[in-house]
Amino acid sequence: MAVAVAAPHTAAVRAARSAVAGGGNAFDAALAAAGALTVVYPHQCSVGGDLVAIVRPAGGAPRAVLSIGAAAANADIDRLRAAGGEMPFGGPDPITVPGVVAGWAAVAGFGARLPLTELLAPAIGLAEEGVPFSPGLRRAIAERADAIRADPGLSGLLLRGDDRLVQPVLAGTLAEIAADWRVFYEGDLGRRLADGLRRLGSPLVAADLAAHRAEVVAPLTRVVDGVTWHAAPPPVQGPTFLAVLGAGDLLGASRRARRTRDALLGDPRTGPVDLEELLGGDAPPASEGLLGGEVPPAKEGPRPGGDTVAVTAVDGDGNAVTLIQSLFESFGSGLLDPGTGIVLHNRGASFSLDPRHPGRIAPGSRPPHTLCPTMAVAGDTVVALGCMGGRNQPWILAQVAGAALEWDDLAGLLARPRWVFDGEDVLAEPAELHDRAGHVQVCRLRDGVLAAASDPRADGAAAVCGDASGVSGE
């Protein structure tokens, strides 16, 4: 079977090729690549992070996978509020339950052909044998050098002066997950991780890990020019992407949608979320009563050099997946658990400490999420699209989405300059491409022909693996 795949590191594409050579389809290719990325791109993703995906079985309806971890059941919210007006960006407090592993299992359930033991074998080999530090990883280390030095786990991994990134402890963790992914949440591995979290100062305990479940739901949709676009629902900012998709004034629509997202995005499990207003792309009058006045500017943390990875894959049968896994900030919380080799994310930094906000922190609540994978379906055409880019993901994707359906030169499309928000300012990308403009990955099946492209801002590649008859994009 021919499979198109795109990922932000060449080792991930090699892992995907291995899966396809072993008889795998698009789901297998994406999962093998995703596993490899948790080893070679520790500044952008980890098994200690979250996963969101849009998955389409051949001939079936797309579904959204939301494997987003929750705050600890015994989180000390009063202490957090007393310490300041915002959630801390790093350290143990913004660590939420990692969702990646359960997300892998959920994606595999849509029709992966290979067991996790085979899909994670390349990742385990990379962790055992080591890989060279990629340019993107070196940039991230330089940008977060102080945080890395402050954590024994990260400094011991990244500042040894070696030429290769070798992670034997993580290799063992991945081997345990490959044998039975449930041990991450309910077995000995989960208990060891919980002990490590406790030593790092996190309120998460083994029961919080055991309570995690990946959510599989219908995606949000919008039809534009006969093409149906699919995005993940809250607490993910999928509605923000749909609100700006196809806008004649993309910048103006993005400004409005951004204010609305900041005011209204939260977890439907723990409070009402006004989905209609989020999809409308305009700040609603109700926000004045909700927040007590004018919607404030978006909270901006340190500028990340990397926070997220997107993997896209489509095969000749029409199976398709766009998968994003993350840490949020580069190296997440800035903490690595030495007992498991896991870098821990800081997704909880997006919680609000305002008890009136839909994204308020609460026991068992999931934080507002930046991950924004999307998929387009029109007849026999399917496009899987995703990117790194934090809070800017909706407009990064909107700048390439329409053309991804039509352009023959997908690599040229991704190399075009883009713009992003920096606080209230709009930054146009200079001639020198920059990480902050996002790492877009795209795969497409159109007229029976597969194509793929990987963003030149990353360290990745795109390929059509397997039987290459009638395919393009190598």
Instruction: Quick: pLDDT tens for 274-288.
Output: 999 999 844 333 333
Does residue 301 register a pLDDT over 50?
no
Does residue 429 register a pLDDT over 90?
no
Q: Is residue 51 very low, low, confident or very high in pLDDT (cuts 50, 70, 90)?
A: very high
Instruction: Quick: pLDDT tens for 348-382.
Output: 999 999 999 999 999 999 999 999 999 999 999 99
CA distances from 314 to 196, 228, 415, 453 (A): 38, 17, 21, 12
Tell me the residue length of the chain.
474
Structure tokens at 395: 């407009």
Structure tokens at 204: 């998460």
Write down the pLDDT at residue 467: 61
Does residue 472 register a pLDDT over 70?
no
Of 32-41, 57-66, 279-288, 330-339, minimum mean pLDDT range: 279-288
The C-alpha atoms of residue 15 and residue 30 are separated, in whole angstroms, by 9
Instruction: Name the packing angle between helices 10-21 and 26-40 (round to 10°).
Output: 140
Predicted TM-score (pTM) of the model is: 0.93
Structure tokens at 128: 């055992």
Instruction: Quick: pLDDT tens for 123-143.
Output: 999 999 999 999 989 999 999
CB 301 within 8 A of CB 349: yes
The C-alpha atoms of residue 281 and residue 262 are separated, in whole angstroms, by 11
Residues 6+ away with beta carbon under 8 Å from 195: 339
The SS3 of residue 336 is: strand
The C-alpha atoms of residue 368 and residue 438 are separated, in whole angstroms, by 19
Domains of the chain (ranges plus CATH)?
3-216+301-465 (3.60.20.40)
Does residue 299 register a pLDDT over 60?
no
CB 416 within 8 A of CB 431: no
The C-alpha atoms of residue 213 and residue 155 are separated, in whole angstroms, by 32
Q: Catalytic residue numbers? A: 308
Work out whether the CA dihedral 59, 3, 52, 128 comes out positive or negative. positive
Q: Where are the alpha helices (DSSP H) in 22-99?
A: 26-40, 77-83
Consecutive H or E run containing 190 = helix 188-200
Upstream peptide bond of 272 is cis (omega within 30 degrees of 0): no
* Phi, psi of 326, rounded to the nearest 5 degrees: -150, 170
CB 445 within 8 A of CB 380: yes
Does residue 317 register a pLDDT over 50?
yes
Place of tokens 């297998």: 28
Instruction: Quick: pLDDT tens for 136-166.
Output: 899 999 999 999 999 999 999 999 888 899 9
Residues 6+ away with beta carbon under 8 Å from 64: 52, 53, 54, 55, 216, 217, 218, 219, 220, 230, 231, 232, 233, 236, 238
Beta strands in 316-370 (DSSP E): 320-326, 335-337, 342-344
Structure tokens at 328: 């949020």
Average per-residue pLDDT for the chain: 91
Residues 6+ away with beta carbon under 8 Å from 28: 19, 20, 22, 112, 113, 114, 119
Considering only CA atoms, which of 395, 340, 388, 377 is closest in space to residue 167? Answer: 340
The SS3 of residue 45 is: coil
Write down the pLDDT at residue 348: 96
CB 452 within 8 A of CB 466: no
Structure tokens at 5: 């795949």
